[in-house]
Amino acid sequence: MRLDPITGWLDTARIEPSPNFDQRPTGAEPECIILHCISLPPGEYGQDYITRFFLNTLPTAAHPYFAGIANLKVSAHFLIDRLGNVTQFVSTYDRAWHAGESVCLQRPRVNDFSIGIELEGLDTDPNGFTDAQYMALNPLIATLKTAHPKINDTQLFSHSDIAPTRKPDPGPYFDWQRVFAR
């Protein structure tokens, strides 16, 4: 697994460029990783709806929940599905739209200096996340830390860490020990 030092794209990921990104501010670079979880529709896994959501092609007629989110413009740098497959939507050199209104490292505008990783899952699902997801997540984190040296072991956060009154993910069933034990 290698991140291209020129383009910021991962050589082993499926690439699905999202239109939902922009340039980081001048001088800004990744300093932390934010972990999220998502399932579409909520609690259902294994479909392409997350990818289609990040590509602005979500079919609103496919599920009643989609009508309320179809006009949102969001993305993440990476998605790890339940099988451990990694999809990249935004170069790590660009700003993905994953953190929303939040504060991290005592600074707002977290998208400016973070990399967002979505895990296919639901914060209230007691089945949590799969072995395959942890097996994909750990080398991805290691690769990102090597490519972006401002990211260190203490700069891995949950969405709930940076927006505690707004977001609960990845939730109580995410096993942080499986990440920190790497």
Residues in Cβ contact with 37 at an 8 Å cutoff, skipping those fewer than 6 apart = 118, 119, 120, 121, 122, 123, 129, 169, 170, 171, 174
Chain mean position to CA 97: 10
Residue 44 known to be catalytic: no
Active-site pick, 31, 44, 101, 118: 118
Report the alpha-carbon distance of residue 77 to residue 118 in Å, rounded.
Answer: 8
Q: Measuring CA to CA, which residue among 38, 65, 40 is closest to residue 121?
A: 38
Catalytic residue numbers, as ranges: 118
